[in-house]
């Protein structure tokens, strides 16, 4: 006689071919999820073995879970796979089977048990997913961008406000932090002393010209109270700047752990951005290189698809030095080779997790080859415009025509 | 309070002179997505926002019959945070069951916290709707499949789920978002092709409802599985 091994939420049931219950094993209440996970993975807990050993007259077992079937056949059981019809039938009769086998006291009890199990299983899955380290990198890189944005907003406020008092100062600085540091240290322009500036690390010439322009500034007088407020904002900018550094080093450190190969190929920053864009390391590893190449250039890509024009060559990876510092005609080739290496690196990081030392070198070899081979710009080809586009192109409106249509230059296409 | 008899379980309330739809709150006092709760004649209603829920939009745009009622079993693919699913749960009542399939862990968290926790008729399934073999907690015959997932192969996913779980004569409500199937093609073209797929798979189309202005380039197809 054939038996059916049916794994349900709160216990395992052995049925005969007419779906009559032969024997039941109820999982310990605290270990329902655990038992389910184990059985799904094909492990054989002692309770299951007791259940199977207790039954007699059964020569072959029909098993729904294929992993479990494999492990059981290794243990010497005669195993058959369940047919789709049987799986469906079991599902339709699940509630009544649970009641009949004594796993549940009534239909409502069975429903309750199934629901509680479903909730527990969902929570278990969520807990597992939320512990992934790449999620923290995604949050961190987004936090970094937000900090940067806030810093720049506040910085331009300081610039405008302090500019009322000493507008010339900004022209001496390229770097925003050095500027705000000077403001928060000295306050009013009359306090800016040449010697003090030199102490802060400015060259003597620069310090002198700053102090001279402070004397002859076009800026208005300012009260202490306003200076205090400006300096408060300036301090915030300095604080945000150091916060930014902290995040950058955090991302670098953690990308080195989570995705060492991607980091080797494109650096921590771009790598983290790619992972954030697609929503996880594993997802990135599933992408083809051609998608990785244009990740972040979706707008341009879909425009190209819609209008049948040329697609973008690079998305986020444009920030890679090898691409944006290369001559234009090489960029497509470089972007392609970097994207393929990212795809390989992502797969190693996601599934193997070891460092592949050669990957960076191999990329460099190809980059050198591109540089050597395509030193000269290609001759310009005259591109034929597709027929359908030709019709759409309109003559540019003259200024007169635009004026007639009103301020904004005609209606939108 | 005015009531249109088109669909019994959906109530039409007049709020500040505006006609709004609502369902009776299954778990009084608890909001799911900050919707307004309104008590009239000792019954608490939850307003159903057509801009948030495509099913609500389709009802306002003239869905003739709602295929599920109290006690039905519904399989909901793409439950998201449970905005629409909670209203279906209201309609099904204590004796109905709604299986909520959702793959994204982030939104499933809200689904669990805001809906499933309170609503005894909701059963969460965190799984890819393509892998319907892995739905673990499903039981019994399904009366209605509601599918709102933004995937290029969404119609095929809905069809395969129906073939597996939906009872004969059961209904499928399928939301088609032309933009996630093909951005290049014209929406009307996409809709036609998806409708054809359904007909070929043995579905009888009962009603097609365009969802604008609530959702652009969306339609809801009400079909019957024969």
Instruction: Output the average pLDDT for chain B.
Output: 93
Residues of A in contact with B97 (CB under 8 A): 111
Residue B138 forms contact with A (CB below 8 Å): yes
Indicate if the pLDDT at residue B56 is higher than 50.
yes
For residues B67-82, give the mean pLDDT. Answer: 95
Indicate if the pLDDT at residue B1 is higher than 50.
no
Question: What are A3-51's pLDDT values in tens digits?
Answer: 999 998 899 999 998 889 999 999 988 888 999 888 988 899 888 999 9
| Banded model confidence at residue A403, pLDDT cuts 50, 70, 90 | low
Residues of B in contact with A305 (CB under 8 A): 183-184
Looking up tokens 């933009």 gives B179
Question: What are B19-40's pLDDT values in tens digits?
Answer: 999 999 999 999 999 999 999 9
Residues of B in contact with A89 (CB under 8 A): none
Contact A115 B137 (CB under 8 A): yes
| Banded model confidence at residue A177, pLDDT cuts 50, 70, 90 | confident
Indicate if the pLDDT at residue A151 is higher than 90.
yes
- Residue B221 confidence (pLDDT): 96
- Nearest C-alpha in A relative to B126: A122
List of residues 6+ apart from B44 with CB closer than 8 A: B24, B25, B28, B29, B37, B38
Instruction: Output the average pLDDT for chain A.
Output: 89
Indicate if the pLDDT at residue B47 is higher than 90.
yes
- Residue A363 confidence (pLDDT): 93
Contact B184 A115 (CB under 8 A): no
For A245, phi then psi, to 5°, come to -60, -40
Query: Out of B108, B138, B164, whose CB is closest to A122?
Result: B108
Q: Could you tell me the CA-to-CA distances from B160 to A406, B117, B140 in Å, in that order?
A: 55, 29, 17
- Residue B187 confidence (pLDDT): 94
Indicate if the pLDDT at residue A171 is higher than 80.
yes
For residues A294-308, give the mean pLDDT. Answer: 91
DSSP reduced 3-state for A132: coil
List of residues 6+ apart from A93 with CB closer than 8 A: A19
| Banded model confidence at residue A400, pLDDT cuts 50, 70, 90 | low
Helices within B47-132 (DSSP H only): 54-60, 83-92, 105-110
Indicate if the pLDDT at residue B95 is higher than 80.
yes
Residues of B in contact with A91 (CB under 8 A): 138-140, 165
- Nearest-neighbour CA in chain B from A114: distance (Å): 6
Q: How far apart are CA B10 and CA A370, in angstroms?
A: 66
Q: How far apart are CA A271 and CA A148, in angstroms?
A: 18
Contact A121 B139 (CB under 8 A): no
Q: How many CB atoms lie within 10 A of CB B5?
A: 6
Residue B107 forms contact with A (CB below 8 Å): no
- Nearest C-alpha in B relative to A95: B139
Residue B126 forms contact with A (CB below 8 Å): yes
Given a contact cutoff of 8 angstroms between Cβ atoms, the answer to whether B27 and B83 are in contact is no
Indicate if the pLDDT at residue A209 is higher than 50.
yes
For residues B138-158, give the mean pLDDT. Answer: 94
Residues of A in contact with B141 (CB under 8 A): 92
Indicate if the pLDDT at residue A284 is higher than 50.
yes
Contact A114 B137 (CB under 8 A): yes
Q: Could you tell me the CA-to-CA distances from A308 to A382, A385, A389 in Å, in that order?
A: 17, 10, 8
- Residue A390 confidence (pLDDT): 60
pLDDT above 70: percentage of residues in chain B? 97
- Nearest-neighbour CA in chain B from A127: distance (Å): 9
Residue A41 forms contact with B (CB below 8 Å): no
Q: Flag the least confident range among A119-133, B5-19, B180-194.
A: B5-19
Residue B208 forms contact with A (CB below 8 Å): no
Indicate if the pLDDT at residue B146 is higher than 60.
yes
Residue A70 forms contact with B (CB below 8 Å): no
For A37, phi then psi, to 5°, come to -60, -45
For residues A258-282, give the mean pLDDT. Answer: 95
Which candidate, A183, A190, A173, places its Cα nearest to that of A227? A183
Which candidate, A345, A349, A336, places its Cα nearest to that of A294? A336
Return the structure tokens found at B18.
């505006």
- Nearest-neighbour CA in chain A from B54: distance (Å): 25
- Nearest-neighbour CA in chain B from A128: distance (Å): 10
Contact B126 A119 (CB under 8 A): no
Q: How far apart are CA B174 and CA B76, in angstroms?
A: 10
Which candidate, B163, B162, B168, B188, places its Cα nearest to that of B176? B188
Contact A94 B126 (CB under 8 A): no
Work out how many CB contacts closer than 8 A connect A with B: 57
Q: How many CB atoms lie within 10 A of CB B157?
A: 21
- Residue B36 confidence (pLDDT): 94
Query: Out of A87, A95, A123, whose CB is closest to B112?
Result: A123
Residue B85 forms contact with A (CB below 8 Å): no
- Residue A306 confidence (pLDDT): 84
- Residue A392 confidence (pLDDT): 56
- Residue A410 confidence (pLDDT): 43
Question: What are B166-224's pLDDT values in tens digits?
Answer: 999 999 999 999 989 988 889 999 999 999 999 999 999 999 999 999 999 999 999 99
Q: What letter would DSSP give residue A28?
A: P
Residues of B in contact with A114 (CB under 8 A): 123, 137, 139
Question: What are A108-121's pLDDT values in tens digits?
Answer: 999 999 999 999 99
Residues of A in contact with B123 (CB under 8 A): 114-115, 118
- Residue B3 confidence (pLDDT): 44
Residues of B in contact with A302 (CB under 8 A): 183
- Residue A187 confidence (pLDDT): 87
Which candidate, A22, A129, B198, places its Cα nearest to that of A13? A22
Packed helices A260-278 and A224-258: angle between N→C axes, nearest 10 degrees = 120
| Banded model confidence at residue A413, pLDDT cuts 50, 70, 90 | very low
- Residue A281 confidence (pLDDT): 95
Contact B123 A125 (CB under 8 A): no
Which candidate, B75, B110, B96, B80, places its Cα nearest to that of B23? B96
Query: Out of A117, A130, A306, whose CB is closest to B137?
Result: A117
Contact B137 A123 (CB under 8 A): no
- Residue B100 confidence (pLDDT): 97
- Nearest-neighbour CA in chain A from B72: distance (Å): 14
Contact A111 B97 (CB under 8 A): yes
For A222, phi then psi, to 5°, come to -140, 145
Question: What are A81-108's pLDDT values in tens digits?
Answer: 888 889 888 988 999 999 999 999 999 9
Question: What are A335-383's pLDDT values in tens digits?
Answer: 999 999 999 999 999 998 888 888 999 999 999 999 999 988 888 777 6
Residue A302 forms contact with B (CB below 8 Å): yes
Helices within A286-398 (DSSP H only): 289-294, 298-307, 321-324, 328-347, 358-373, 387-392
Indicate if the pLDDT at residue A393 is higher than 60.
no
Residue A299 forms contact with B (CB below 8 Å): no
pLDDT above 90: percentage of residues in chain B? 85
| Banded model confidence at residue B7, pLDDT cuts 50, 70, 90 | confident
Residues of A in contact with B109 (CB under 8 A): 126
List of residues 6+ apart from A288 with CB closer than 8 A: A343
């Amino acid at each position: 006689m054939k038996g059916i091994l049916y794994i349900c939420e709160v216990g395992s049931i052995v049925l005969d071919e007419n779906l009559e219950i032969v024997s039941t094993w109820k999982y310990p209440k605290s270990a329902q999820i655990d038992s389910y996970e184990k059985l799904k993975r094909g492990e054989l807990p002692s309770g299951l073995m007791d259940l199977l050993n207790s039954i007699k007259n059964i020569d072959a077992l029909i098993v729904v879970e294929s992993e479990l079937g494999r492990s059981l056949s290794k243990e010497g059981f005669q195993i058959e796979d369940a047919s789709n019809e049987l799986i469906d039938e079991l599902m339709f009769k699940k509630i009544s089977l649970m009641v009949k086998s004594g796993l549940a006291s009534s239909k409502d009890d069975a429903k309750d048990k199934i629901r509680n199990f479903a909730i527990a299983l969902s929570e278990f899955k969520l807990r597992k997913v939320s512990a992934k380290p790449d999620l923290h990198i995604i949050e961190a890189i987004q936090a970094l961008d937000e900090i940067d944005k806030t810093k720049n907003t506040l910085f331009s406020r300081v610039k405008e406000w302090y500019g009322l008092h000493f507008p010339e100062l900004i022209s001496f600085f390229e770097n925003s932090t050095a500027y705000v540091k000077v403001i928060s240290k000295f306050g009013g322009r009359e306090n800016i002393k040449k010697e003090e500036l030199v102490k802060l690390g400015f060259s003597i010439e620069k310090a002198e010209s700053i102090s001279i322009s402070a004397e002859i500034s076009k800026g208005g007088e300012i009260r202490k109270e306003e200076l205090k407020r400006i300096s408060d904002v300036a301090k915030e900018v300095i604080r945000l700047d150091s916060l930014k550094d902290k995040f950058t080093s955090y991302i670098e450190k953690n990308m080195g752990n989570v995705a060492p190969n991607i980091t080797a190929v494109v650096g921590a920053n771009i790598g983290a951005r790619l992972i954030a864009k697609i929503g996880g390391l594993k997802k990135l590893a599933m992408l083809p290189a051609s998608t990785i190449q244009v990740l972040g250039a979706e707008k341009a890509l879909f425009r190209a698809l819609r209008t049948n024009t040329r697609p973008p060559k690079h998305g986020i990876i444009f920030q890679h030095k090898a691409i944006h510092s290369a001559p234009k005609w090489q960029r497509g080739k470089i972007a392609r080779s970097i994207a393929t290496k990212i795809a390989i690196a992502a797969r190693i990081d996601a599934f193997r997790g070891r460092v592949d030392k050669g990957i960076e070198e191999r990329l460099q070899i190809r980059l050198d080859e591109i540089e050597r081979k395509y030193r000269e710009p290609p001759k310009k080809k005259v591109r034929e415009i597709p027929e359908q586009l030709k019709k759409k192109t309109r003559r540019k409106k003259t200024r007169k025509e635009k004026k007639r249509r009103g301020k904004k230059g005609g209606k939108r296409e | 309070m005015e009531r249109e008899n088109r669909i019994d379980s959906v109530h039409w309330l007049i709020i500040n002179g505006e006609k709004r739809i609502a369902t009776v709150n299954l778990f009084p006092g608890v909001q799911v997505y900050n919707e307004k709760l309104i008590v009239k004649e000792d019954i608490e209603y939850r307003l159903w926002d057509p801009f948030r829920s495509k099913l609500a939009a389709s009802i306002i745009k003239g869905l003739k019959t709602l295929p599920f009622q109290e006690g039905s079993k519904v399989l909901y693919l793409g439950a998201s945070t449970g905005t629409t699913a909670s209203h279906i749960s209201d309609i099904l009542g204590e004796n109905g069951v709604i299986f909520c399939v959702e793959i994204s862990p982030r939104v499933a968290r809200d689904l669990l916290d805001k809906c499933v926790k309170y609503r005894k008729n909701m059963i969460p399934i965190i799984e890819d709707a393509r892998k319907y073999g892995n739905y673990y907690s499903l039981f019994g015959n399904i009366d209605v499949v509601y599918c709102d997932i933004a995937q290029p192969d969404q119609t095929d996913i809905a069809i395969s789920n129906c073939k597996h779980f939906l009872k004969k004569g059961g209904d499928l409500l399928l939301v088609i978002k032309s933009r996630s199937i093909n951005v290049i093609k014209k929406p009307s073209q996409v809709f036609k092709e998806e409708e054809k797929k359904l007909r070929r798979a043995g579905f009888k189309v009962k009603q097609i409802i365009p969802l604008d202005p609530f959702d652009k380039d969306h339609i809801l197809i009400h079909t019957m599985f024969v």
